[in-house]
Amino acid sequence: MEKIVLVVEDELLNRKLLRDILTHRGTVVIEAGTGREGVDLANEKKPDLILMDIQLPVMDGMEATRLIKANQTTRHIPIVALTGYAMEGDEKRMREAGCDEYLSKPFRVKELLKMIDSILGLRSIEGTGEKA
């Protein structure tokens, strides 16, 4: 069964990059541009994984993560926080908000894929001859 990944990211170029990586990896990608939309889509679609930017309009990634993790029907969904311009304490704050993993931008594609594969239980790229 196809895995669904929700990308919550307001920068269109970053979103395109993540969409390309995930689509190539064989997952279905759904997208939100604000934290509010992200919370709503998580509720509606129950994705297998959420990639969450921190700096987002309307509602930031920290608040969106808190709401998703406070909701009984979405709290099991793993959230990977992706942050640009990582500030001192960002990781601690995001982990306190409830995110499961944390990657600061710019991340290496291989690093992101490894994390996604392990969370989704996909066979690792490594050793398959597939180009990352």
Where on the chain is the footprint of Mn ion (CB under 5 A)? 10, 53, 55
Q: Which is nearer to Mn ion, 55 or 104 (CB)?
A: 55
How far apart are alpha carbons 12 and 15 in whole angstroms?
Answer: 5
Closest listed residue to residue 35, CA positions, set 15, 77, 71, 63:
63
Q: How far is the CB of 29 from Mn ion (least distance, A)?
A: 17
CA dihedral (95, 111, 79, 51) positive or negative? positive
Closest listed residue to residue 38, CA positions, set 51, 20, 23:
51
Q: How far is the CB of 1 from Mn ion (least distance, A)?
A: 31
Q: Which is nearer to Mn ion, 3 or 99 (CB)?
A: 99
> Would you state the structure tokens that stand for residue 114, as one six-digit string?
């490894």
How far apart are alpha carbons 5 and 29 in whole angstroms?
Answer: 5
Q: How far is the CB of 97 from Mn ion (least distance, A)?
A: 16
Q: Which is nearer to Mn ion, 31 or 53 (CB)?
A: 53
Q: Which is nearer to Mn ion, 53 or 90 (CB)?
A: 53
Q: Give residue number: closest CB to Mn ion.
A: 55
Q: How far is the CB of 19 from Mn ion (least distance, A)?
A: 15
